[in-house]
Chain A
Amino acid sequence: MSELLAKEREVVVPGQVLANGIDYIPGNGTYRHDDKVLANRLGILSVEGKVLKTMPLAGRYMPKKDDVIIGRVDDILMSGWRLEINSPYSAVLPLKDASFDFIAKGADLTKYFKLDDYVVVKITQVTSQNLVDVTAKGQGLRKLRGGRVIKVNPQKVPRIIGKKGSMVSMLKRATDCKVIVGQNGFVWIEGSPEMEVIIVRAIRKIETESHYSGLTESLKGFLEKETGKKIEDDAPENNDQKVN
């Protein structure tokens, strides 16, 4: 007889027994011990039929192929750039993937990206040892000028973006800021200084309240109060930015 011992969407912790009996199947963030299924990380439980999974609440960003991320130029190499990507590992932007221009051998690489520049890039390859290659060629991939970059919990990025980008487009509409959310937890914001401050506070609010229901509504209220203007529902989408 199998029984579920934790509720769907409950915060579960390592070693917590989630289910008894062999009918439940351990998925990501869970494991089987004898005939029990236990959690092996801090997260929110999701039950999909017989499969138990936990969605992480904390943890660093792990690079994944095709993620669009924001990196900071950390070092300039012989034939490319090393980017800091808010992860245990750094990424390499090779010369051939940096620009559509032809870059001659021995050219001054700082003409393209200087130290401490922020760049929107896409991950092209991740090896088993977590060596990361990225490209700056593609739609929406570019060097960032102006604005500010903040760091957020990478596990909260999907909530900041929202379903089909709904959350981030609401933030943009409310504040008239440009926003790019990197999957690695770097968020670039550009707009008027007052609005930038509001949007940073809104993002911090999403981070701390993301595991509660009614997030969109409470955030809408917050933005309307702070900006002093009404946010219309489903305004025509003019997303210049595509976020996964």
Chain B
Amino acid sequence: MEKFERPTKRKPEETRPVEAEAGVIKKADGSARFKIGDTEAYAAVYGPRDLHPKFLQDPKTGILRCSYSMLPFSGDGTRVRPGPSRRSKEISLVTEKALLPVMNLEDYPNTVVDVFIELPQTDAGSRCAGICAAAIALADAGLIMKDMVSAVSVGQVRGHLLVDLDGDEEHMDENEAADVPVAMIPSTEEITLLQMDGIVTKEDLSKALEMVKPALKEIAEKQREALKKKYEREA
């Protein structure tokens, strides 16, 4: 196999630079900003609060409701039409499924926890950034969570496995770059989100999942630091 160098000179298992911050939206119960390379996500959490319409209420537990949305000027410059689309609905759903395993809302029957994720800037890996931001925001809201949820994508470009593809890398492959977003609970290494776009062999997929774990744990540390920093800054 020929030698392959990433356009940004990153190592194959290296993520883009990560920035995380908690409590950026003062009126929300919890909020966070998560930036990885040129992809940036804001998340705001409201609740637990009263849930309407009433038929959605669950007397056994509170529910989690996520909404993912890209701002019109995000992306490559072709206006992203606001409002729900097939894609954003799908991502909202998988985000909810990725976060739910760490949450325990049984103490809040008949209520909802709303998570709003907005992306002002996207350059691949936006659902992962959204999940990372949402996890920080949920913790910032003081909710019971057994751990963070950290997410990053892993992909295959021209036969090479690479962690955290950016937009350029996604478009490099003549055929199609494979892109696999992964979300994991760091303490137990349980995977809560695994999607695949493109074609990866079974062996490569297992290799990719092993390769992405250290990156995910690093991201988890960044998420935790962000929460701690919020309470240092106010000194």
Contact = CB atoms under 8 A, between A and B. Distances in A.
A130 interface: yes
Contact of B234 (A16, A41, A130, A208): A208
A42 B111 contact: no
B148 interface: yes
A38 B147 contact: yes
Given A38-B147, A41-B142, A88-B48, A13 B29 contact: no
B27 to A, nearest CB: 11
Nearest to B185: A15
A46 interface: no
Interface in A1-35: 11, 13-17, 29, 31, 33
B48 A38 contact: no
B224 A33 contact: no
Contact of B139 (A33, A41, A89, A212): A41
Contacts of B29: 58-60
Nearest to A31: B146
Contacts of B59: 129
B111 to A, nearest CB: 4
A42 B102 contact: no
Given A60-B48, A88-B108, A42 B146 contact: no
Interface residues of B, number: 37
B148 A15 contact: yes
Given A58-B29, A58-B141, A129-B109, A15 B50 contact: no
A88 B50 contact: yes
A16 B224 contact: yes
A76 B142 CA distance: 32
A154 B69 CA distance: 31
A152 to B, nearest CB: 13
A51 interface: no
B50 A58 contact: no
B142 A155 contact: yes
B141 A59 contact: yes
Instruction: Classify the interface of chain B: helix, strand, loop or mixed.
Output: loop
A43 B48 CA distance: 18
A58 B187 contact: no
B145 A41 contact: yes
Given A11-B228, A38-B187, A209 B234 contact: yes
Interface string A79-93: 000000000111000
A137 interface: no
User: Which of A33, A42, A89 has the most CB atoms of chain B within a 10 A radius of its CB?
Assistant: A42
A90 B50 contact: yes
B235 A212 contact: yes
A56 B232 CA distance: 16
A88 B49 contact: yes
B107 interface: yes
B75 interface: no
A142 interface: no
A161 B188 CA distance: 40
A211 interface: yes
B47 interface: yes
B140 A15 contact: no
Contacts of A109: none
Contacts of B187: 15, 17, 33, 38
A217 B111 CA distance: 40
Interface in A63-111: 88-90
B146 A14 contact: yes
Contacts of A29: 144
B47 A42 contact: no
A124 interface: no
B49 A14 contact: no
Nearest to B235: A212
Interface of A: 11, 13-17, 29, 31, 33, 38, 40-43, 56-60, 62, 88-90, 129-130, 155, 208-209, 211-212
**Which 10 residue pairs of A and B lie closest in terms of their CB atoms, listed nearest first?**
A59-B142, A15-B147, A58-B142, A14-B145, A88-B48, A88-B111, A13-B227, A13-B224, A11-B231, A208-B234
Interface of B: 29-30, 47-50, 59, 62, 102, 104, 107-111, 139-148, 185-188, 220, 224, 227-228, 231-232, 234-235
6 contacts: A13-B139, A14-B148, A40-B145, A59-B141, A129-B59, A208-B234
